[in-house]
Structure formats: structure tokens, C-alpha cells
Amino acid sequence: MTIQKFFENNPRAALAFSGGVDSAFLLYAGITYGQDITAYYVKSEFQPQFELEDAKRLADELGAKLKVIDLSVLADPNVKCNGPRRCYYCKRMIFNLITEQAQQDGYSLLIDGTNASDDVDDRPGMQALKELSVRSPLRECELTKEEIRRLSQIAGLFTWNKPAYACLATRIPTGTEITESDLHITECAEAELSRLGFSDFRVRKIGDTAKIQLPEAKIKDLLGHRTEVIERLKQYYKNITLDLEVRS
């Protein structure tokens, strides 16, 4: 099945929208094929501000309908305690909220950007999507991440080469309670590195220590900015470290 055929068979859909590569292409495809599609972005403590800005920018460029919904995911103790199934409980909250809003808006189908490259067997959040009958057109149409990036570039979407981004909660070790303060520190620290020109990195928070992870090709660049990186991140952490087990 092609993505065009999917939308021909499903002319009205609510899209769980993150502003990332996959959901951005899905929104573009829905609009391109003339379907009634509305994007729903859930703004929680786990999403940095730039993700919302990217979502709004793309919606504006496509002339898409976008609804932003606020949600405190930390209100759920199962999320806040940061156990191994945190993602499951978080996804259920988010998609239940989108489903409720979408139904009020007249949509019976909810779709998301899971693609054919995603390892659904190793992602607790996927269980929640299955339970809530969320469909994943990109996966159903066997579109891989590489192909989605290629098609996005052809379409002129600024998201085509956007690095994959996991929510801020992934920077906190499993089993360590998540606080708004720790999430804020993480967002600020990563914003500092972004301003220095870095991308596709993570700043993990381990107690009072920041552990920077980035691709091997970028390590030399980071060491070249060593003094500035330390100065900027010392606002938030006592210790700054570099993970030599680089991001793949």
C-alpha cells in the first residue's frame, strides 16, 4: 500500500504530531492528497520549546490545522517515578488526551508517525498505541526513516534532515524520580550546546554530573570548544563529562 492509497481509504484523520521528521512528512502527505487532517501537539514537561516552535513553523508552511494541548505528564505517579514502563504510561496519557480532543472535533481515526525502521518490539510506548487502536501509516506502507528523509527533502520540508530526538525524560536514569527542575536544567544545557552549533547529541543528567553524548565525528569539535562548553554547562552541573562510548 502507498501512503496516497492509505489517505484515499482514510480521508479524515487526527495526527499525533511532534514536529519531527516522520509526523511532519505524514502531515504533508495528508494535505498533499487533499485529506481532512488535523495535527495535535501535546505540550508537556518532556518537550523542549524548540519542538513546539518547529511544529508551529511546519504547520504554518503547510497551511495545516494545528491544535496545541497542554498536559502535565508528571501528574501521573507512574510517569514521575521513572520506572522501566514510564514510556507506556506517558504514551497512554498523551494519546488518550488526543483521542478525546479528536473525537470532540469529529475524528474517529488517530494516526502517528511510527515508521518501518522503528523497533516496535523494544518500545514500551508502542503497547499503549496498540491498546488505543492508533494506526501508523508510515509503518503500514513500509516507509523507512531513510526513505522518509529522502521524500521530505524532495518535498522541501525543513525537517528532512532534523536529527532524531527523544524526550527530555530519557536524559534521566531509569529509577531516578523525574522533577521539573531536572528537566528544565537538561533543556537549558542542551540549548547551550545547540547555540554552539552542535546537533544530534544528548546531555544526560546523573546526579550533579552532565554526561555529554554525541557522534564520534563531533568529539574533536566539542573538545575544541572545551572551555566554553564547561563554562556554559557549569551553570547547571557541578561536573561535566564526555561519554567516549559515542552515539551511533
Tell me the pLDDT band of 121, cut-offs 50, 70 and 90. Answer: low
Q: Are residues 91 and 150 in the same domain?
A: yes
pLDDT at residue 25 in the model: 97
237 pLDDT more than 80: yes
With respect to residue 27, please indicate whether it lies within any of the assigned structural domains. yes
CA separation for the pair 148, 19 (Å, rounded):
14
Tell me the pLDDT band of 90, cut-offs 50, 70 and 90. Answer: very high
- Determine the longest span between alpha carbons in the chain, in angstroms: 56
Angle at 164 between CA 161 and CA 166, to 5 degrees: 155
Instruction: Name the domain boundary from 135, 161, 187.
Output: 161
200: left (phi over 0), alpha (psi -120 to 50) or beta: left
CATH of the domain at 15: 3.40.50.620
Q: Are residues 184 and 153 in the same domain?
A: no
Q: Are residues 44 and 90 in the same domain?
A: yes
Q: Are residues 61 and 148 in the same domain?
A: yes
With respect to residue 138, please indicate whether it lies within any of the assigned structural domains. yes
- Provide mean pLDDT across the span 17-28: 96
CATH of the domain at 186: 3.30.70
pLDDT at residue 120 in the model: 64
**Residue 197 CB burial class (10 angstroms; 0-12, 13-18, ≥19):** exposed
Q: Are residues 115 and 26 in the same domain?
A: yes
Query: Bigger pLDDT: 164 or 89?
Result: 89
CA separation for the pair 176, 83 (Å, rounded):
8
With respect to residue 120, please indicate whether it lies within any of the assigned structural domains. yes
Domain of residue 85: give its range. Answer: 3-161
Instruction: Name the domain boundary from 113, 128, 161.
Output: 161
pLDDT at residue 128 in the model: 83
- Provide mean pLDDT across the span 118-145: 85
Q: Are residues 84 and 206 in the same domain?
A: no
With respect to residue 174, please indicate whether it lies within any of the assigned structural domains. no
Q: Are residues 113 and 199 in the same domain?
A: no
With respect to residue 122, please indicate whether it lies within any of the assigned structural domains. yes
164-to-135, 207, 209 alpha-carbon distances in Å? 21, 25, 24
Backbone phi, psi, residue 244, to 5°: -80, -10
Lowest mean pLDDT among 44-53, 142-151, 215-224: 215-224
Residue 160 CA from chain centroid, whole number: 14
Instruction: Name the domain boundary from 161, 191, 224.
Output: 161
Q: Are residues 21 and 113 in the same domain?
A: yes
Q: Are residues 98 and 196 in the same domain?
A: no
> Which of 179-191 are b and which e, b meaning 16 or more Cβ less than 10 Å from the residue's Cβ?
eeebbebbbebbe
Q: What average pLDDT is seen over the chain?
A: 93
Lowest mean pLDDT among 7-16, 118-127, 178-187: 118-127
pLDDT at residue 248 in the model: 56
129 pLDDT more than 90: no
Nearest to 113 by CA among 195, 25, 194, 48: 25
Domain total for the chain? 2
78 pLDDT more than 70: yes
CA separation for the pair 233, 35 (Å, rounded):
46
pTM of the model: 0.92
- Provide mean pLDDT across the span 219-242: 95
Q: Are residues 107 and 209 in the same domain?
A: no
With respect to residue 168, please indicate whether it lies within any of the assigned structural domains. no
pLDDT at residue 138 in the model: 96
With respect to residue 247, please indicate whether it lies within any of the assigned structural domains. no
With respect to residue 208, please indicate whether it lies within any of the assigned structural domains. yes
- pLDDT tens readout for residues 161-218: 998 888 999 999 999 999 999 999 999 999 999 999 998 899 999 999 999 999 988 9
Query: Bigger pLDDT: 65 or 216?
Result: 65
Tell me the pLDDT band of 122, cut-offs 50, 70 and 90. Answer: low
Q: Are residues 154 and 191 in the same domain?
A: no
Query: Bigger pLDDT: 64 or 35?
Result: 64
pLDDT at residue 175 in the model: 96
- Provide mean pLDDT across the span 113-132: 80
Q: Are residues 198 and 155 in the same domain?
A: no
Tell me the pLDDT band of 39, cut-offs 50, 70 and 90. Answer: very high
